[in-house]
Amino acid sequence: MDINQTAAIVTGGASGLGAATAAALAAKGARVFALDLDSAFASAEQHEGVRYVATDVTDGEQVQAAVDEAAGSGLPLRTVVNCAGIGTASRILSKKGTHDLATFRKVIEVNLIGTFTVTTLAAEAIAKTEPLADDARGVVINTASVAAFDGQIGQAAYAASKAGVAGLTLPAARDLASSGIRVVTIAPGIIDTPMLAGVDEEFRAGLAAGVPFPKRLGRPDEYAQLALDLIEHDYLNGEVIRLDGSLRMAPR
């Protein structure tokens, strides 16, 4: 699918994976609508072709308004990349007590239900566009994590949410096939995003040393490159692709 002269939605678009993907799509000629919390935009880099839209992915009305804006931009909405997500560290049972249920619920709400909400509402808009070759209309790329398969101690909420995203991939691809919409999921390993900004160099080096090859952290632009490849490759559908240097996470 040609990205040029199409509209795209990227959630979590103010930083990290989302910001890199939004910039890469704009460089390819897309008009990008980068969705994120209003508070996240203060430090966001400005890129030509990227419009920042304050949106909480857990709020269906806000998501619908953002989708309507993208769909009404004058260019066909063809692409959605869901990068919005949060992570916490808490054991189910520890010396401090049990895992906070509200925290578990919040992680599921943002990472899994937020992804589903954006996917569903955007798919409705994409399905109304004129079909391309093979009756294709667009693609949704979701973001899981290697934690979906190798969840570590303290990652019960995060791993459960990302396993849900991974499990959503195939049924979503099958559900949306009749509308000409592909669904593909990327499962990143340890990527050097703002979530690691407070980590000291020694710990960062230890994380990199655990990656079989190449022995370094992944980069957001590598995620963005893969996302663009998936958008342009029309026969990739219903698949979860690990982007992790063959890393398999240890228990802790």
Catalytic site residues? 158
Burial of 43 (0-12, 13-18, 19+ CB in 10 A): exposed
DSSP secondary structure letter of residue 210: T
Taking the C-alpha atoms of residue 155 and residue 234, their distance in angstroms, rounded to an integer, is: 34
* C-beta of residue 157 within 8 angstroms of C-beta of residue 107: yes
From residue 139, alpha-carbon distances to 61, 73, 80, 170, 215 in Å are: 22, 18, 6, 13, 32
Structural tokens at position 24? 């890469």
Burial-class residue 202 by CB neighbours within 10 Å (0-12, 13-18, 19+).
exposed
- The CA-based dihedral angle spanning residues 242, 246, 250, 252, taken in that order and rounded to the nearest 10 degrees: -70
